[in-house]
Amino acid sequence: MKLRNRIVSGKIHVDMTPMIDVVFQLLIFFMCTLKVIEPEGDFDISMPLGAPKADSVTDADLPPFKVRMLADETGELSSLSFNGNNLGGGSRAIQLLNKSVFDSIVALQAIGSDQLQKQEVEIDPDYNLNYRYIINAIGACSGRIGPNGVHVSYLQRIKFAPIRQRPL
Partner 1 sequence: MKIKSAFISIPEIDMTPMIDIVFQLITFFMVINNFDQNEADERITLPRDQLARPPIAVRKNSFMLNFGYDLDTQGRRIPNTPPYVFFGDDRATLAEVRPRLQQESQFYKTIGTKFEDVTVEIRADADVPAGMVQELIQMCQEDTIQFQRFALKATQKVDP
Query: What's the Rg (C-alpha) of the chain?
Result: 30
Query: Rounded to 5 degrees, what angle do the CA atoms 104, 95, 158 make?
Result: 55
Among 9, 33, 113, 148, binds partner 1 (CB under 8 A): 33
Range 48-87, binding partner 1 (CB under 8 A): 48-50, 69, 71, 75
Measured from the CB atom, the residue of 37 and 54 that comes closer to partner 1 is 37
Cα–Cα distance for residue pair 85/154, rounded to 1 Å: 19
State the binding string over 99-138 for partner 1 (x if CB under 8 A, else -).
Answer: --------------------------xxxxxxxxxxxx-x
Please enumerate in sequence order all residues whose Cβ is within 8 A of that of 63, keeping only pairs 6 or more positions apart, or say none: none
Cα–Cα distance for residue pair 93/129, rounded to 1 Å: 14
Closest separation in Å from C-beta 135 to partner 1? 4
Among 1, 3, 31, 110, binds partner 1 (CB under 8 A): 31
Closest separation in Å from C-beta 160 to partner 1? 6
Phi, psi of 93 (to 5 degrees): -65, -35
Amino acid identity at 24? F
In eight-state DSSP terms, residue 75 is: S
Closest separation in Å from C-beta 125 to partner 1? 4
Stretch that binds partner 1, among 60-68, 84-92, 113-121, 159-167 (CB under 8 A): 159-167
With CB under 8 A, what is the number of residues at the site for partner 1? Answer: 52
